[in-house]
Amino acid sequence: MRKLDEILLVALVSAAVGIIVALPFILLTEKAILAPIVKAAAAGMAIGLIARHITIYIFLNINQHPVYTFAAIFIIILIGTGGAAILFNTQNKAFIAGMVILAEIIGMSVSLVLHRYISKLNDQLEKTQEKFMTVSLRDKT
């Protein structure tokens, strides 16, 4: 159940990022804004979920150094945001560049915050395990 909660959280945060990234450009160019906002949320959600799965794969199977996962996130955001903008027929190259830059800033910031949070949790888990191991060894003697 925790994995499902995590996936839902990533999906919701990513959808919000998609809306935040696209909203200024939608407001400047669109008359009807509901459909483009839904598309932006869907694109953000897809980018976030793809990034989550690919970074987990890289971390577990290729290299555990954060540089590799952050590089993958950067590339996924770049391709995903640029691709979504083109797919949704954004003609203005400056708008596409602006969306990509905004998505990179927000996406990489969120990734950094999550990385720090997860690292802190892992450190606390290691300390707790060490404490239990010490107590367990003491009890056996």
For residues 35 and 55, give the distance between their C-alpha atoms in angstroms, rounded to a whole number: 30
Tens digits of per-residue pLDDT, 43-99? Answer: 999 999 999 999 889 988 988 888 999 999 999 999 999 999 998 888 899 999 999
Over residues 96-115, mean pLDDT: 92
Over residues 6-15, mean pLDDT: 91
Among 25, 84, 78, 28, residue whose Cα is nearest residue 51: 78
User: Which range has the worst mean pLDDT, 3-7, 23-27, 90-94?
Assistant: 3-7
pLDDT at 134 over 80: no
For 126, other C-beta atoms within 10 Å of its C-beta total 10
With DSSP H G I counted as helix, E B as strand and the rest as coil, what are the percentages for the chain, rounded to 5?
90, 0, 10
pTM of the complete model:
0.82
**In the chain, % of residues over pLDDT 90:** 54
- Residue 14: which H helix or E strand, with range? helix 2-29
